[in-house]
């Protein structure tokens, strides 16, 4: 049994996929964006000590929520369609924290001293308010706004820098918190806010029990959200439009101009076998566009080894939706001849899937590739690209004649 491609659950680093086996070790790519690929000793995997292998895709069904895991993790949030909002909150807070940190750095040679003091609760309050208005039900019942209302250093400020303890270095180093650590921090802020009374007294006597209670509440809300997804699944339709990809949803025209945006689910085919999965996306009624956060999409791509959707990256947050300067439809589906991106087999598989699903016709694909060839063939630097285009045309010819 080959271990390559197997999904693992690493107790320390979360979920990942085995990329490669080397003598005595496996190279693992972890799902969390901020963990680089790591070498894991094979004995850990085989003895099931630190790492367990499981067969399911990482975006699991709600009944499989692992209640022993942290409720606020990448996987659960992506599955429920919440991840974009959580990431959006993180991005906004990071932006504010960066500004403060830079100011502190300019003023003081030891920025950690001033950074903590400079953070302004009212600004943080402003940033977190819409988020908590939308999601406080996840944390508390009856829902009430969780605001950092106490002037307590540990609790109120979403301080997103921490001191990096490097014993070898005499200088204090400040590091910015990654998104996965931010989720832990958010959880703690919520917990400690809920566990204080109006006079800022810490009321819990048994924090283990209270942690458990908070987790149960969150998981119960997750299950409710998941059952809504399931009961609506008969009405889900296949995505027939391109999807606009954003880093920050609050940075879109739709968000700034307060368009009518709601989270909906659509069907998209998996590239591997064309079976359908449902994907949480945001739909703007005013612009009639589908949008998704970059992280949610990449989580689903990882879980299902690529999904077949037309993608339009919105690199410039100020640009309004426009189809004029769009990449070709073929490119939107992920086709390219960039060095090191798609192998020959992957390009052919993608082209075959586009034809089989009727998403593009042979004529549309060929005319686009021929157009590229006409434009770039013979130009220096395009030798390899031109060879790939020619090869793909030949493949299409034989594929269509089957
Ligand atoms: Zn809009």
3-state secondary structure 322-388: CCCCCCCHHHHCCCCCCCCCCCHHHHHHHHHHHHHCCCCCHHHHHHHHHHHHHHHCCCCCCHHHHHH
Closest CA to 175 of 189, 188, 193, 161: 161
Distance 283 CA to ligand 1 centre (A): 8
Distance 382 CA to ligand 1 centre (A): 38
Distance 260 CA to ligand 1 centre (A): 7
- Are 99 and 93 within 8 A, CB to CB? no
**pLDDT interval class at 306 (50, 70, 90):** confident
How many helices (H) does the chain have, and how many strands (E)? 14, 12
Distance 278 CA to ligand 1 centre (A): 22
Q: What percent of the chain has pLDDT over 90?
A: 15
- Are 366 and 330 within 8 A, CB to CB? no
pLDDT tens by residue, 103-153: 988 887 777 778 888 888 889 888 998 898 889 899 987 766 666 555 555
357, two tokens: 């699903």
CA distance 92 to 127: 7
Compute the 3-state secondary structure of the chain and give helix, strand, coil in percent, each to the nearest 5.
Answer: 45, 15, 35
Distance 45 CA to ligand 1 centre (A): 47
pTM of the model: 0.70
DSSP 319: P
- Are 114 and 105 within 8 A, CB to CB? no
**Diameter of the chain by CA atoms?**
77
pLDDT tens by residue, 217-237: 999 998 888 887 777 666 778
**Which residues are 54's β-sheet partners?**
7
Distance 302 CA to ligand 1 centre (A): 28
Distance 288 CA to ligand 1 centre (A): 7
Distance 286 CA to ligand 1 centre (A): 5
Distance 257 CA to ligand 1 centre (A): 8
CA distance 21 to 9: 17
**pLDDT interval class at 52 (50, 70, 90):** low
Q: Sheet of 25-30: strands edge to edge? A: 38-41, 25-30, 14-22, 7-10, 51-54
Instruction: Average the pLDDT over each of 98-102, 156-160, 287-291 and give the range with the smallest value.
Output: 156-160
Q: Where are the domains of the chain?
A: 7-53, 74-226, 236-315, 326-402
Secondary structure of residue 189 in the 3-state scheme: helix
Distance 311 CA to ligand 1 centre (A): 17
pLDDT tens by residue, 169-218: 566 678 888 888 899 889 988 888 888 777 767 777 778 888 888 999 99
Distance 51 CA to ligand 1 centre (A): 44
Distance 261 CA to ligand 1 centre (A): 7
CA distance 229 to 59: 14
pLDDT tens by residue, 272-293: 777 788 888 999 999 899 999 9
């Amino acid at each position: 049994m080959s271990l390559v491609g197997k999904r693992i659950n690493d107790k320390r680093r979360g979920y990942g996929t085995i990329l490669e086996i080397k003598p005595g070790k496996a190279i693992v790519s972890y799902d969390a964006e901020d963990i680089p690929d790591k070498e894991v000793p094979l004995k850990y995997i085989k003895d099931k000590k630190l790492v367990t292998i499981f067969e399911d895709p990482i975006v699991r069904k709600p009944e499989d929520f692992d209640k022993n895991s942290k409720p606020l993790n990448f996987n659960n949030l992506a599955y429920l369609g919440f991840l974009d909002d959580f990431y959006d909150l993180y991005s906004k807070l990071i932006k504010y924290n960066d500004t403060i940190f830079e100011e502190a750095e300019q003023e003081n040679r030891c920025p950690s001293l001033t950074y903590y003091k400079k953070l302004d609760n009212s600004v943080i309050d402003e940033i977190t308010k819409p988020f908590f208005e939308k999601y406080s039900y996840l944390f508390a019942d009856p829902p009430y706004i969780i605001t950092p209302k106490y002037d307590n250093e540990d609790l109120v400020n979403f301080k997103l820098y921490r001191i990096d303890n490097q014993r070898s270095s005499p200088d204090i180093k400040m590091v910015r918190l990654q998104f996965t650590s931010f989720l832990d921090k958010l959880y703690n802020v919520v917990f400690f806010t809920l566990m204080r009374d109006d006079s800022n007294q810490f009321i819990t006597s048994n924090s283990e029990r209270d942690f458990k209670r908070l987790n149960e509440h969150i998981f119960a809300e997750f299950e409710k959200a998941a059952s809504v997804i399931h009961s609506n699944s008969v009405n889900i339709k296949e995505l027939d439009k391109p999807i606009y990809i954003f880093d920050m949803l609050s940075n879109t025209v739709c968000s700034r101009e307060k368009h009518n945006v709601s989270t909906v689910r659509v069907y998209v085919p998996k590239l591997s076998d064309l079976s359908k999965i449902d994907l949480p996306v945001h739909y703007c009624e005013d612009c009639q566009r589908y949008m998704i956060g970059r992280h949610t999409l990449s989580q689903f791509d990882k879980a299902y080894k690529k999904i077949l959707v037309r993608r339009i990256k919105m690199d410039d947050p100020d640009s309004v939706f426009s189809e004029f300067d769009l990449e070709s439809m073929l490119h939107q589906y992920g086709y390219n001849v960039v060095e090191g991106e798609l192998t020959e087999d992957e390009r052919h598989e993608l082209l075959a899937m586009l034809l089989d699903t009727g998403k593009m016709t042979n004529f549309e694909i060929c005319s686009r590739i021929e157009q590229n060839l006409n434009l770039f063939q013979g130009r220096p630097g395009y030798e390899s690209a031109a060879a790939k285009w020619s090869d793909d045309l030949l493949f299409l010819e034989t594929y269509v004649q089957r």
